[in-house]
Amino acid sequence: MNNIEYVELPLINGKLIVKNEGRCILGNKLKFNSTLKSNYVGIFKPCTISVRNNGYLEIRDYSGFSGVSIVCSNKIIIGRYLNCGGNVSIWDTDFHPIDHLDRRIHDFEKINSAPIEIGDDVFIGANSIILKGVKIGDRSVIGAGSVVTKNVPENQIWAGNPAKFIKNI
């Protein structure tokens, strides 16, 4: 847990792999499950967190993750009491330039990234992907297998690929 700000260590079932080159703040009472025994949904991989140069990741109190992948190049803020289903990915970057010529020369300056904010009491269903620039409002639900590309207001259910409004809670 070198260079990571925390008051108490999270509960880790299995492994939590962290690469921190930016600022990483972990709240209290966090839980990371990386084993089938800790979550029977079918976890495909250990929980991983990558905070890249100048990235800022804050995970607030009482949130839980199973086989999560968090990649932060810009800024990700995760609220309190997030329930994250198995194998969810939260990525604030495209990882590669969009233009094929920029990809050929690995022009990292041309990679798009934008902050992600996930509110309090949110549930994200298994195998969902939260992409760059998205804000998910308090108490909202993301259906399993969704790809979230747009902002989700508070107290709403969204699902699908791309995720669309289903109903108000």
pLDDT tens sequence across 23-34:
999 999 999 999
Supply the pLDDT for residue 1: 56
**pTM, rounded to two decimals:** 0.94
Per domain, the residue ranges of the chain are 4-168
Please give the residue that has the higher pLDDT: either 7 or 165.
165
d(CA 64, CA 43): 14
List active site positions.
96
pLDDT at 2 over 70: no
pLDDT at 150 over 90: yes
Supply the pLDDT for residue 162: 98
Which one, of 82, 78, 94, 89, lies nearest residue 132 by Cα? 94
Q: Does domain 4-168 have CATH number 2.160.10.10?
A: yes
The per-residue pLDDT for range 21-65, each reduced to its tens digit, is 999 999 999 999 998 778 778 788 899 999 999 999 999 999 999
- Tokens found for residue 162: 């791309």
Average pLDDT, the chain: 94
